[in-house]
Amino acid sequence: MNKLMASAFRYAIPAVLVLISLALLASPYPYLAPMPAAGLLALLWFGKRKLFPYLFYGIVMLIPFGAYRGLGGQFSFVRFHWIFAIALAAFVLIGILLRKTIPVEVRQGKFWAGVFLFYIINLFSALGSTFPEVSAQFMILLPAAYMLVALGMIVVDQKGFAQTLPRVIVGSVFLSSVLALLGSVFHLALFVSPVTGRVIGGAPDPNNMSLMIIFSLPLAVYFLLTTRLPLARLAYMLIIGADVAAVVATFSRGGALILGFSILLMFWEFRRMIAPRNLGLLMGLGGLVVAAFLLLTPESYTQRVKSIRTADDFSMRRRASYLVVARDLVAERPLLGSGPDTFAQNYAATEIGRSFKRKNFSGERSAHNTYVEVLVGTGFIGLAAFLIILIYALHSFTCAQRRFSVTGRSRLALLTVAYRTSFLTLLMYLLLYSEINHKYLLVSLVVSQVALRLAQTLPEEELDYVGS
């Protein structure tokens, strides 16, 4: 049977490529006709050298550069990460068809039960949506998002978990932070939002930029605490400093709040790494850093953060209006909601939404709260299913960390703590930001299940990978 399937692939794939090339020749883009053959050669090259897991790491590397992931020009709608994801899915699918079995790495029944439940609830909610086209588009993107989770679970191994993935996250976010700082210092329009005038680095908007920076900080701190090389320690200190400065450069009020929460959480989670004799010194240094932060922070940013407490601030009044509208929408449809991803359209249709509409801008506004978005879209049932997925991921991190600790793999245990801390800061930030399919959320789900699998399957004598 395997030989029969291999023969089928041998003849079917060239036939499909020829048909695609002929279609491209007859299209307005005949110069793209060689691309299918070139793509196949690239796939074969990746497959022969077993490099296809790096397609996933390439997707992760591109996350902080959401503003520049398109091909550009008339093909700007084509995204690099789509190309990587399709190629990775092709590798995995061919392997599944040839082996006629689902990879053991993805067999996490409890996790997928929660995902399936969430999708079914979204499907029923979409059938009664107040904006069916919007919900239909969301229902296409949702399985694609969790397909990425499945692919990550399959290709991320111990080395990827312990070395490649965290370094890709820390390094790519740092590069985007550098772009944000360059945009702030030299007023480079390329790295500044044309809508708000605030720096964005490589991200689509400043709030997303600050979210991604704060997500990466616990991993950078992990490397700082575990490396034994003085130059590497200095490099991670510079990375952390640049990241914190970039959060200030984005002028994100939510970023300032969650950054403070993240610092406290990291201090608690990594407390066992701090020797008692150094605790006073570190607290003193921390005080100096806070003082320098306050002295060097622009007055305009300080005033912006203080405006959180001001009821007269326009932005804060508008954010409060989201909750008022959400309360009314949930009261109308408490069980299955108004349809997935429909808060913005429902908000624009209300009197409150129209009163906050700015000239030359659409009245559609997100809830700036992912949990409120889910509650309005799919009701209390959908929110419960979404929270089940998140809670199970946190439980997986905790179980993995405990097993790593019990079996003496201290570095993997500490790294799992860092991943969990990043995940917790992301969940906190989602109280202020709307993105149910944020890629770092999906990556966190991947890592939670990979950590659990490694903790359950690796022998106790397995050596830790040392971050250095």
- In degrees and rounded to multiples of 5, residue 465 shows phi and psi of -85, 130
Residue pair 64/242 in contact (Cβ under 8 Å)? The answer is no
Query: Going by C-beta distance under 8 Å and a sequence separation of 6 or more, which residues neighbour residue 90?
Result: 43
Rounded (to 5) percent helix, strand, coil in the chain: 75, 0, 25
Beta-bridge partner residues of 199: 192
131-160: burial string, b at 16+ Cβ within 10 Å, e else: beebbeebbeebeebbebbbbbbbbbebeb
The residue ranges of every structural domain in the chain are 17-49, 52-101, 106-155+318-468, 166-309
- Reduced to 3 states (helix: H, G, I; strand: E, B; else coil), residue 190 is helix
Q: Which pLDDT belongs to residue 195?
A: 76
* Cα(338)–Cα(130) distance, integer angstroms: 6
Cα dihedral 198/203/209/213 (nearest 10): -140
How would you write the pLDDT of the chain (468 residues) with one tens digit per residue? 445 555 555 556 667 666 766 776 666 666 566 766 666 666 666 655 567 788 999 999 999 998 887 766 555 666 778 888 888 888 888 777 777 778 888 888 899 999 999 999 999 999 999 999 999 999 999 999 999 999 999 999 999 999 999 999 999 999 999 999 999 888 888 898 887 788 899 999 999 999 999 999 999 999 988 888 989 988 998 899 889 889 988 988 889 899 989 988 998 888 777 666 546 545 654 555 565 566 556 766 666 666 666 655 677 788 889 999 999 999 999 999 999 999 999 999 999 888 887 765 677 899 999 999 999 999 999 999 999 999 999 999 999 999 999 998 999 999 999 999 999 999 999 999 999 999 999 999 999 999 999 998 866 545 454 444
